[in-house]
Structure 1
Amino acid sequence: MSGEWLALGALAAAGWLWWDGLQKRELAIAAARVLCTRAGVQLLDETVSQRRLRLRRDDRQQVRFYREFAFEYATTGDERLPGRVYLLGSQVLDAHLIESA
């Protein structure tokens, strides 16, 4: 019986992690969209992809998920340039466009 509860708990935790990840992805898309609009560039594909997931402490020393998202943008439509959005919990830490070299 305890094995069933453990499996149920693991399934619930996996479901929560997936659901929370979807919410954070939406935050990252919104941050990328605002950044691109302010910079006068086009957010390509209207999406982001998660590149990194780690545990980090916030300013109050509480453990939060740190996520790094990547996206692509274009200035003229001919090139695909990278951008990044960084989240700690539900807080957007930074979002920036990476200029081509």
Structure 2
Amino acid sequence: MSNLLAVFLVLLLGWFWLDSMRAREIATEVCKSACKQRELQFLDQTVALRRLGLAWRSEGLRMRRIYRFDFSEEGVGRRSGYLVMRGMTLEDLSFGLPTRVRDA
């Protein structure tokens, strides 16, 4: 019985690791494209996990991950934004910048 439990725990840990890597890849791509769309420079080409938890929604229980990323407005200085993923779906993205009004 203990061998079966050990195998189950190893499989669970493997699933969690693969799921976390996939979520991080998606978060990195979302940040990269959002920075490009807003004409910002995505620094370090990566996101960093800040918080991990569970979220219960109408579609069921999902992993909720909060990532932090760095960007620069004009290549000078470093600012931080955050991204919230629920499962593999984007829940929230914030640059902490005021919205720009473009001239028509």
Q: Deviations over 1:64-96 (max 9, x none)?
A: 000101000001222110011111111101112
Instruction: Give the letter aligned to residue 96 of structure 1.
Output: S
Kindly indicate whether the alpha-carbon contact (under 8 Å) linking 1:57 and 1:64 is maintained by their aligned counterparts in 2.
Answer: yes
Instruction: Give the letter aligned to residue 88 of structure 2.
Output: S
- Shift >4 Å, 4+ stretches: none
TM-score with structure 1 setting the length: 0.91
Total equivalences in the alignment: 97
SS in 1 for 2:46: coil
Identity %: 28
* Residue ranges of structure 2 left out of the alignment (5+ in a row): 98-104
Kindly indicate whether the alpha-carbon contact (under 8 Å) linking 1:86 and 1:95 is maintained by their aligned counterparts in 2.
Answer: yes
The corresponding residue for 2:13 is 14
Instruction: Give the letter aligned to residue 76 of structure 1.
Output: E
Structure showing greater relative contact order (alpha-carbon pairs closer than 8 Å, 6 or more residues apart)? 1
What aligned pairs does 1:68-79 form with structure 2 within 5 A after superposition?
A: 68-79=66-77
Kindly indicate whether the alpha-carbon contact (under 8 Å) linking 1:72 and 1:83 is maintained by their aligned counterparts in 2.
Answer: yes
Query: How far off is 1:98 after superposition?
Result: 2.0
Query: How far off is 1:3 after superposition?
Result: 0.6
The corresponding residue for 1:83 is 81
* Residue ranges of structure 1 left out of the alignment (5+ in a row): none
Aligned-residue RMSD, C-alpha = 1.0
SS in 2 for 1:25: helix
